[in-house]
Structure 1
Amino acid sequence: MKKSSWLFTMLLIFSTMITVSANNWISMWIGLELNMMSFVPLMLNKINKSSSEAAMIYFLVQSVSSILMLMMVLINMFKIMNKSYLINSIISMSIMIKLGAAPFHMWLPKIMSNMGWKNCMILMTWQKIAPLLLLSNINNNMIINVSIIWSIMIGGLGGINQTSLRKMMGYSSINHLGWLLAINKSMNLWMIYMMIYSMMIMSICKMFSIYKIYFINQMSNINMNNTEKMGLSIMMLSMGGLPPFIGFLPKWITIQSMINQQEYFLVFIMIMFSLIPLMYYLRIMINMFLSFNISNKWSYNYSYNYSMLMIMIINMSLPLIMIMDIL
C-alpha cells in the first residue's frame, strides 16, 4: 500500500500542475478530474467504514461540481447560449463547491471528521490551489463577495459548539477560505497567504497526528511537555491571526488590499468575524494548559522538540519582518 500511496501522491501533485499550467478550460477540467481520482485512493489508504463514507461523499460532491463545470464550458465553447454572465456564475459556483466555500460547505467538515490528520492537511492546503487559480480567471465579483461573507460568517460561527477537532479545523479552513477569496484576483497576495496558512496547518496537523488527538476533551489528558504546549498554543494563536504572530501577516495584507479597493463594509465584516475563531482556539489551549500531567518540564527527550522550537521562532518572526520592511 505504501508504493501505491507514493504513486497517487505524485499523481496528485502532477494533476495540480496540469491545471495550473493549462491554457484552456478543458485541460483545466482534466487536471481537476485527475486530482480528484488521485485523492480518493489516498483517503482509502486505511480501509474502514469512516474512510469509505468520506471517500464516497468527496467523490459525489466533486463529480457534481465537475459535471456543472464541464457542461458550462461546452455551452460556452459551442456558443449554445449567449448569456456569458450566467455561464460564469455557474462555473464560479461549481468551483466553490470543489473548494467547500459557503454556502456549499456542508460536505467539508463532514468528511474531515472521518479522515486522518494527513488527509485533512492535504484537503485544507494542496486541494485548494487549483480551484483558487481557476476562480482568479473568472470576473464575477458579486457571487465571490457573497461567498466571502458566507464563508467568514459560517467558518466563524460553525466551529463554536464543535467538540471534534477535525470539524473545528474544517470550519477554520472555511473561514480562511473567505480571506483567500477576498484577495483571489491578485496572484502574488493569495499565494503568500496560502504559503503561510499551509505552514501553520501542517505544523498543527503534525502535532495532532503525533499525539492522536481528535477531540477537545483529549487535550486535558495529553502528555505534552511545556515546549510542545507553548509551541501548539503559539500555532493556534497564529492561525487565529493574532499579532505579533506570523499568522497576522496574511490577514494584514488582505485588509490593506481590500481597503485599497474601497471595500470597507466587507473589511469590517471580515475583521469582526475573525475574532470568533480565536475563541475556539483559546478553548483548545485552556483545556491543554489546565490539565495535570506527569511530564510538565522543559525537556528535550524527543527529536521533534527542536523542530517545535523552530516553528515557535518562525511564528514569532512578524516583528522582525516589520522592522526589515521599515528599514
Structure 2
Amino acid sequence: MIYAVIDIGSNTVRLSVYKVNGEEVLNLFNEKEQASLRSYVKNGALSDKGIERLLSVLKKFKTVVDHFGDIDELHPFATATIRDATNRVEILKIVKDKLDLDIEILSEEEEAKFAFIGASSSVGVTRGVLTDIGGGSSEIVIIDQSKVIKSSSISIGSLSGFNDFVNGLFMNKDEKKLIDEEIKSLLEKKKVYREGHDLLCAVGGSARASLLFYNEYYKLDPYNTTMQSNKFCQMLKEIIEKEPREILDLILEIKPDRVHTLLPGMAILNRISKYFSCKEISVSQTGVREGYVYNKLIERNK
C-alpha cells in the first residue's frame, strides 16, 4: 500500500508519501509549502484570505498525488490552527466542497501520541521528555519505560511566538524573556511538573532547523543528531547579541525558509529543555506524520 499524508500545520503544510509493506514504512518523497496559516487568524477565526491560502496549497498537493498514480489513499489532517479556529466547521466544509478532501482534526492527545510513536521509529526513547514544536502549539510528552505517562499541549509555537512577542524581524533579549515567561506559565497551568530528565527528544521542523544551525555553528558532522543543552543555550544567547544583518546572513545560509521563526522556535526548545533540566537534546527525523501512518493506518489494516 502507498499512503499520502498531508500535515496541515500552523506554519507549514507538508505532503509525505509512504510505501507500507507489513510494518515496514518507507518514505518515498516529501513536499513542503510555507502557508503561515497562523498569521491569518483574526479574532479566533481563519480569515477568508487564510482559507484561500489553505485551498491553494491543498490543491497543489492533491494535483501531485493525482499525478503520482500509484497512491492508494490520501489522508489530510490538521493540528493547532484549524483545530482551534472558531470557524473550523466552515473551513472543513469549504475544503470538502471545493477539493473533495476530508480533513481529519487531530486532538492534542492524538498529536502528542503520534509524535511519540513517530519519534520512537528512529530514536530510542525509554525515559525522558519529548516535544514537538509546531507553528501554533508545542506538544509535551513525559515518557517512562517507553510509555507515555502524561501529555500536554501548550498554545505557543515558532510562528505564534514570532507573531505574539517579536516586533522586528529577529527576536531580541527582552522578547526572548517574554517567551520564556509565557512557556513557564503555560506549563504550570497545565500542571506539567518540573521533574528532572536527562534527555529531551525533539521532533518537528523547528527542532530539525535548530539542529542544522547547531551543527553548522559548532562545525559538527552534518549527520549529528544530538545537541548539548548548555551549548545550545549559549549559541542562542550569542546569536541574539549579533547585529541584525549578521543574524540574517547566518539564517539565510542555513535555513532561509525559517528566517523569522527560527529564533522563536529555538527559544521554545531551549526553555523546555531548561524547564526539565535536560542535559541533552536528541532530534528525531521522524514525528507526527510517521506516527499517524504507524498508528492510524497500519493498525487499522491489521
Same fold (TM over 0.5): no
Higher helix share: 1
| More strand per residue | 2
Question: Which has the greater radius of gyration?
Answer: 1
**TM-score band w.r.t. shorter chain:** 0.3 to 0.5
TM-score normalized by structure 1?
0.31
